[in-house]
């Protein structure tokens, strides 16, 4: 049950090492605390191996790359693999520039990722070796819709099997697959796209769910996606006429903090294909 996956996070309080972008680092930390995890941030190459060694999971986000942080990503990722930790890649903007695309592809080659979470354009870039995105947003031509759902599910399953990672494509319709099964999730609000970093926050939270649910990684990843989507719905329902996107961001974090097993299971909208 999805609610069990959330409860496992609350009980185990997984420590997650985040090498994430400076645009959303504070929100990633707060969402991890809200879901029951514990965050630590470090991208300094001389620091990352020690830091990741004391954690259970590593979240690598390429949203604001520099040569120093890139070196830290590879060092931390290889150390986490050596220790058999859960590792997640968020390939922010892969396809938007040569540096982002090349870095993401090289990370996939040299590090074993438990999960990869991104929008459909970013995931297609990893699968095909090249692609285009609208900045860090998905290209409208790639959007997962009811009309393209069958093809998208087949694509995500295929890439999950080829990569050996759980693949989570998030957007209007979310897809989470381990290569055999695919969760098709319809939680969330379109207004979430007006807040910087909801995807980054989800990647941090998903890493905590993976660490806390080693016996069912697929359901753990799906539970994280549902939790974020439901929080977006609850947060929007609590908005007042004078509220804007800054308030909405906080209401989403509050909704995650107050999420319980019953709410998650009652409000989750998904099917498994």
Q: Give the contacts of 110 (CB within 8 A, at least 6 positions apart).
A: 74, 77, 78
In this prediction, residue 129 carries a pLDDT of 84
Neighbours of 180 (CB within 10 A): 9
What is the residue range of 132's domain?
A: 2-272
Gyration radius of the chain over CA positions:
17
Q: Give the contacts of 158 (CB within 8 A, at least 6 positions apart).
A: 179
In this prediction, residue 143 carries a pLDDT of 81
Q: What is the pLDDT of residues 33-58, one digit of tens each?
A: 999 999 999 999 999 999 999 999 99
Q: What is the pLDDT of residues 109-124, one digit of tens each?
A: 999 999 999 999 999 9
In this prediction, residue 140 carries a pLDDT of 45
- Give the CATH number, domain containing residue 96: 3.40.1190.20
Neighbours of 130 (CB within 10 A): 12
For the sheet with 86-90, list strands across it.
38-41, 15-19, 57-61, 86-90, 115-118, 166-169, 174-177, 182-185, 270-272
In this prediction, residue 142 carries a pLDDT of 73
pLDDT in tens, the chain (273 residues): 899 999 999 999 999 999 999 999 999 999 999 999 999 999 999 999 999 999 999 999 999 999 999 999 999 999 999 999 999 999 999 999 999 999 999 999 999 999 999 999 999 999 998 655 554 455 545 788 888 999 999 999 999 999 999 999 999 999 999 999 999 999 999 999 999 999 999 999 999 999 999 999 999 999 999 999 999 999 999 999 999 999 999 999 999 999 999 999 999 999 999
Looking at the structure of the chain, the number of domains it has is: 1
């Amino acid at each position: 049950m999805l609610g069990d996956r959330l409860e496992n996070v609350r009980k185990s309080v997984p420590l997650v090492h985040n090498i994430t972008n400076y645009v959303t680092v504070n929100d990633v930390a707060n969402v991890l605390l809200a879901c029951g995890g514990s965050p630590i941030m470090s991208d300094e190459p001389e620091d990352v191996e020690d830091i990741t060694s004391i954690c259970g999971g590593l979240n690598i986000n390429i949203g604001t790359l520099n040569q120093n942080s890139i070196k830290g990503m590879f060092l931390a990722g290889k150390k986490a693999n050596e220790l058999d930790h859960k590792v997640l890649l968020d390939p922010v903007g892969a396809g938007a520039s040569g540096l982002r695309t090349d870095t993401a592809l090289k990370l996939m080659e040299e590090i074993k990722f438990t999960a990869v979470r991104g929008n459909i354009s970013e995931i297609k870039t990893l699968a095909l070796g090249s692609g285009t995105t609208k900045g860090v947003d998905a290209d409208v031509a790639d959007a997962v819709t009811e009309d393209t759902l069958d093809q998208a599910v087949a694509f995500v399953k295929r890439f999950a099997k080829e990569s050996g990672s759980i693949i989570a494509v998030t957007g209007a319709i979310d897809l989470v697959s381990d290569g055999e099964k695919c969760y098709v999730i319809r939680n969330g609000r379109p207004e979430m796209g007006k807040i910087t970093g909801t995807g980054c926050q989800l990647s941090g939270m998903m890493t905590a769910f993976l660490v806390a649910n080693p016996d069912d990684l697929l359901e753990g990843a799906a539970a994280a996606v549902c939790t974020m989507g439901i929080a977006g719905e609850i947060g929007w329902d609590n908005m007042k006429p004078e509220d804007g996107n800054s308030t909405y961001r906080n209401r989403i974090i509050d909704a995650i903090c107050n999420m319980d097993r019953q709410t998650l299971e009652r409000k989750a909208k998904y099917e498994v294909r």
